[in-house]
Amino acid sequence: MKFTMVNVNNLELGAIIAKDIYANTRFPIITKNSPISHKHLHVFKAFNIHEVPILINSVKKSVPSKTGEVEEVIVITEQVKQINPFEKKYLETLEQFKKDFSNWEAGAKIDMTKVRGTIFPLVEQVLQDRSYIFDLNSYSNPNEYLYHHCIATGLIAASIANKLGFDKGNTLQMAIAGTLADCGMSKIPKSIRNKKAALTEAEFNEIRKHPIYSYNMVKELPALKAEMKIAIFQHHERLDGSGYPLGVKHEKVSQLAQIIAVADTFHAMTSERLYRSKESPFKVIEMIKEEEFGKFDIQVVNAMTNLVADLPIGTKVELSNLEKAEVMFINQYNPTRPLIKLLKNGEIIDLSKQRSLTISRVITNE
């Protein structure tokens, strides 16, 4: 039977475990053919298990046996998962971007008409409904992370620009700049880009050159504004001088570069990578504001915070302990930690006081 590895954050209740799962134990902690339950989700979290093998499109159904008793059997279907129109367009865009990236690897120049036609339809949808931002990391996978990252960075950068009050033209320019910020990675050898082990100092220094390569690829594009080209060059610079490639600081780093930087950092930290698991958008916002304090423009960070945390009352969320709740009140001084009500028993919890709990995701499709 065919199976696929699924991140535990994306598991569906009832999906069937394809193989025995061990965790430095003599006997399996969960056996093959077990349907996923809430109990298993807690077990995965306790044993720090990030991915599990799941039978493809498996469900459990109850059927009558020969004796007339009802027994559960595993049914494997070949039906294609139903996807929403945005996800369908996103996946189409991803395939086109992969082809473009391959052409860049071979030395082709960037076709701005194609890039605009690829990314703009998604931008329009995200600007109309920011909840799509919450789903971007669920589309990504570690092996194709770079392509997903380019598209998502463009969409998030446009959303931040829109939140900051940019006009439509400059918002769309930010979408292009965000999408092309890492185009220079096409000039980095695949052996370095896809390396799972720790990079050597020489390899890391090569990675740090990608903003230069990106700038060289976009500098002659007449349809991209000069300030956007500078933003692409500076998108890994930080206000405290800790960035690259030049290590400039303060006012020498453009706000447009900071928009791409925050979008880039947010998507990177909320996505699963080959070398680490993803974090929730709410935790990432807190990390950017606290652990990375001084590196990013506060206006840009606040715009990103509002995009993520300014949730309508009644929004359904899942907590870090896997409980589901709805938002009751947003604390303007601590927007990532609202007042919430547990769906199972109606208990009211102030997340600003219950620091051990965080919102792990916004429920957009249930």
**Contacts with 118 (C-beta within 8 Å, 6 or more apart), sequence order:** 93, 96, 97, 100
- Contacts of range 329-336, beta carbons closer than 8 Å, 24 or more positions apart: 335/305, 335/306, 335/309, 335/310, 336/282, 336/283, 336/285, 336/286, 336/305, 336/308, 336/309
Q: Which of 27, 71, 23 is nearest to 44 (CA)?
A: 23
> How far apart, in whole angstroms, are the C-alpha atoms of residue 148 and residue 128?
21
Higher pLDDT, 141 or 277: 141
Give 264-320 pLDDT, tens digit per residue.
999 999 987 766 677 889 999 999 988 788 999 999 999 999 999 988 899 999 999
Q: What is the mean pLDDT of residues 141-151?
A: 92
pLDDT of residue 25: 62
pLDDT at 106 over 90: yes
Count of CB atoms within 10 A of residue 168's CB? Answer: 12
Same domain, 156 and 69: no
Same domain, 60 and 97: no
CA 47 to chain centre: 24
Same domain, 210 and 248: yes
- Cα 319 to Cα 15, 278, 344, distances in angstroms: 21, 15, 13
Same domain, 262 and 133: yes
CA 352 to chain centre: 24
Same domain, 65 and 189: no
HSE (side-chain half, CA atoms, 13 Å) at 247: 1
Task: Kindly report the CATH number assigned to the domain that includes residue 320.
Answer: 2.30.30
Q: What is the mean pLDDT of residues 163-170?
A: 97
What confidence category does residue 74 fall into, taking pLDDT thresholds of 50, 70 and 90? very low
Of 76, 97, 128, which one is at a domain's C-terminal end? 76
Task: Kindly report the CATH number assigned to the domain that includes residue 10.
Answer: 3.90.105.10
Q: Which of 70-79, 84-93, 345-354 has the lowest mean pLDDT?
A: 70-79
Higher pLDDT, 149 or 271: 149
pLDDT at 35 over 70: yes
Of 76, 99, 126, which one is at a domain's C-terminal end? 76
Q: Which of 303, 300, 327, 183 is nearest to 239 (CA)?
A: 300
pLDDT at 192 over 50: yes
Same domain, 315 and 301: no
Q: Which of 231, 253, 230, 233 is nearest to 242 (CA)?
A: 253
pLDDT at 17 over 90: no
Give 112-123 pLDDT, tens digit per residue.
999 999 999 999
Same domain, 138 and 255: yes
Q: Are 337 and 331 in contact (CB under 8 A)?
A: yes
Task: Kindly report the CATH number assigned to the domain that includes residue 140.
Answer: 1.10.3210.10
Count of CB atoms within 10 A of residue 6's CB? Answer: 17
Same domain, 11 and 101: no
Same domain, 220 and 112: yes
pLDDT at 80 over 50: no
> How far apart, in whole angstroms, are the C-alpha atoms of residue 52 and residue 32?
11
Number of folded domains that form the chain:
3
Average pLDDT of every residue of the chain:
87
- Cα 33 to Cα 1, 42, 44, distances in angstroms: 11, 18, 16
Host H or E run for residue 13: none
Q: Are 134 and 364 in contact (CB under 8 A)?
A: yes
Same domain, 129 and 267: yes
3 state SS of 341: strand
Q: Which domain holds residue 317?
A: 311-362
What confidence category does residue 58 fall into, taking pLDDT thresholds of 50, 70 and 90? low
Q: What is the mean pLDDT of residues 198-217?
A: 96
Give 310-347 pLDDT, tens digit per residue.
888 999 999 999 999 999 999 888 999 999 999 999 99
Q: What count of residues does the chain have? A: 366
pLDDT of residue 83: 66
pLDDT of residue 152: 97
The CA-CA-CA angle for residues 140, 144, 146, to 5°, reads 90
> How far apart, in whole angstroms, are the C-alpha atoms of residue 168 and residue 290?
31
Same domain, 216 and 133: yes
> Mind giving me the DSSP string for 34-70?
PBP-HHHHHHHHHTT--EEEEETTEEEEEEE-TTS-E
pLDDT at 65 over 60: no
Same domain, 158 and 265: yes
pLDDT of residue 61: 43
Of 76, 102, 128, which one is at a domain's C-terminal end? 76
